[in-house]
Every structure is written in C-alpha cells, then in structure tokens.
Amino acid sequence: MKKLIALILLTISAVAYTAEPVQYDVSFNNAVHHEARISVTYSDIGDAPLQLRMSRSSPGRYAIHEFAKNVYQVWVVDGAGNPLTFTRPSPYQWDVAGHDGTVTATYTLYADRAGGTYSGIDLTHAHLNMPATFMWARGFDDLPINVSFNPVSEDWKVATQLVPTDDAYVFTAPNLQYFMDSPTELSNFSERSWDIESNDKTYTLRLAVHHDGIEEDVDVYLEKAKKVVDQQIRIFGELPDFDYGTYTFIADYLPYVSGDGMEHRNSTILASTQSLHQAEFQQLGTLSHEFVHAWNAERIRPHRLEPFNFEQANMSLNLWFMEGF
C-alpha cells in the first residue's frame, strides 16, 4: 500500500510540474550588415553544466555544415544577470557551469546566404533556416519552445510551420526536432491560400512569395501550384495529415538568394535567382518535387533519420528511396 501511495504521489507531482519553455528572442537591428542578435534562455535546469551547441547538419541536408562559423559575440548570464564564463571544447560547443538554474546566451549571427540550408538577412527580409540560426542545449530536446521576432519593418509578415499565437511575431514549437525543422521567412511577401478537404478534415495550403515581380504573376503561379497539388493527391490518394492543419510553400524569388529547394514536415523552402516572369514559372518544377516529399521523405522515410542528429552527418543507404536514382 505504501508503495502504491508513493507511486500515486509521484504521478501527481509529475503531472503538476510543467517545464519552462525554452525562450528565443530575435532582433535584426543590424540587418543592413546581414546580422541578427539572438538570445536563448533555459530556466529551472538544475545546477549541472549547460551544454550549448550550434548544429552541424540540417534536416533534408544530411552532410556536415559547420553553422557555428557564422556565430560570434557570445555573451552568457545567469538568472540574475551575472556574467558567466564558458568553455569551448570544440568550435561548435559552449559549456556553461556555475549558473543558478537559469542561463541566457546572447550571440550575433551573420547570415547572407538565403536558401535551403543557410540563412539570409538584409533590409528586405530575414530568411531563417533554424539549424543555421539557433543555438540549443543538449538534454532538453523535449522542452516546448517559444520564439519572439522583432521585425525590421512593420510590414513584415511571418511565413512558417511554427505554431502561431495571438501575437503576430511570437510562435511556438512542441520540441526541438519540430523547431529545427521549421524554416521561417519574415518579409513583406505576397500571400495566397486555399483549402482542401481530405479524410474528413480541412487543410489550408499557404503560398508565401518574397519577390520583386508583380502580383498578377503570383496569381498565375497559385493556379499552377493548385494543379500540381491536385495531381499529387491523385497519386497518393489523400493529403498527408499536416500537423496543425496547414502546409506552407515559402518562396524567395530574388536575384540575391541561392537557388534551392528543401522539404520540411509541414512546409518547404523554394528559392530562385529568377523572378516568376523571367523563369516563365519554371520554379513550379521545384515546388512539385518538394511537395512530393511531404509524403515520401517526411512521412515515409528511412528509420535511421529519426530522430535527426544535429551534431553529425545523418547517413542512410536508403536516400535513393526519397530522392530517386
């Protein structure tokens, strides 16, 4: 009986305890020089050293990318604002000891390569691939995450698969894996959306296009994208069960981005140096390729890619099944 009572009390205690979310704050005061200033706060973490890291790989891009090379001016404080020292066991590690259970690390990120792998920041937009942008800590993968953006301009909107809140610039993620798989575009992009019924559910598909063309081109692109989506639904028989009921095409069609495409669970990154008009809408091929991955790569995938390891190359002999021969 005593053991049963102890078990019940332990269960009640576990349910009553709610871990503090990881908090990120992002500002772009020096966007003209392609910089962001980012802070991350871990609270109620005990007294063990905090092992902060920058990722070395990114979902969909399985090779090594040393994202820490673009991070500098690191400053770490405890919950009272007292400066903390840290060690650097490797170029992508910051280990913090002697804290009071709360650690805030603030750093500068340089970002001038908008595409599917890296980030790009200037006065027109902030194009963020999360592993290339955000420092994180070992051992806290399951904590929920809040991220707050401070935009350069009031006309900037946010396109992302992150979970929205009542604040247009504050978003959440259930855990680190989802957060790191959620690329985000902040800009005055053109936006379109449409709804699709599948398996007795209504899903909203969103198209966000940051471009220097005309709105009529986006309207034409939207209609072409709808046809692509409809044909792929015919192949698979249904839409994927998108988390939170949405899927977002995040497109940057500008002369200063890196041409690319990258799949994610509930979104995709599409980038081209040509406008829709210049390319005669050939960007549709990348859109089609990446949307197939919503099934075959994101939900049908090699077991070795789960969970994704952000600290090393993610190798599999089955990538041919996702990308083709």
Predicted pLDDT of residue 325? 55
Over range 148-170, report the average pLDDT: 99
Name the percent of the chain lying above pLDDT 90: 88
CA-atom Rg of the chain in angstroms: 21
For residues 166, 136, 50, 104, the Cα torsion angle rounded to the nearest 10 degrees is -50
Name the percent of the chain lying above pLDDT 70: 94
Q: How far is CA 129 from the centre of its chain?
A: 6
Consecutive H or E run containing 236: helix 215-236
- Domains, the chain: 21-187 (2.60.40.3650), 190-303 (3.30.2010.30)
Residue 162: CB atoms within 10 Å: 25
Predicted pLDDT of residue 18? 60
Predicted pLDDT of residue 9? 41
Over range 269-276, report the average pLDDT: 98
Q: Is the pLDDT of residue 282 over 70?
A: yes
Q: Is the pLDDT of residue 8 over 50?
A: no
pLDDT band of residue 19 (cuts 50, 70, 90) is confident
Mean of pLDDT over the chain: 94
Over range 247-260, report the average pLDDT: 98
Take residue 25 and report the two structure tokens written for it: 């704050």
pLDDT band of residue 323 (cuts 50, 70, 90) is confident
- Those residues whose C-beta lies under 8 Å from the C-beta of residue 317, and which sit 6 or more positions away, are 302
Q: Is the pLDDT of residue 57 over 80?
A: yes
Predicted pLDDT of residue 304? 87
Take residue 295 and report the two structure tokens written for it: 């099934």
Q: Is the pLDDT of residue 12 over 80?
A: no
Q: Is the pLDDT of residue 68 over 60?
A: yes
Q: How many helices (H) and strands (E) does the chain have?
A: 5, 20
For residues 171, 175, 176, 179, the Cα torsion angle rounded to the nearest 10 degrees is -30
pLDDT tens per residue across span 121-156: 999 999 999 999 999 999 999 999 999 999 999 999
- Those residues whose C-beta lies under 8 Å from the C-beta of residue 310, and which sit 6 or more positions away, are 53, 55, 56, 57, 58, 131, 136, 180
Q: Is the pLDDT of residue 85 over 50?
A: yes
Predicted pLDDT of residue 11? 41
d(CA 208, CA 195) in angstroms, rounded, equals 15
- The whole model's pTM is what? 0.94
Over range 207-212, report the average pLDDT: 98
Q: Is the pLDDT of residue 158 over 90?
A: yes
Take residue 302 and report the two structure tokens written for it: 């090699």
The sign of the torsion formed by the CA atoms of 229, 235, 239, 242 equals negative
Predicted pLDDT of residue 319? 87
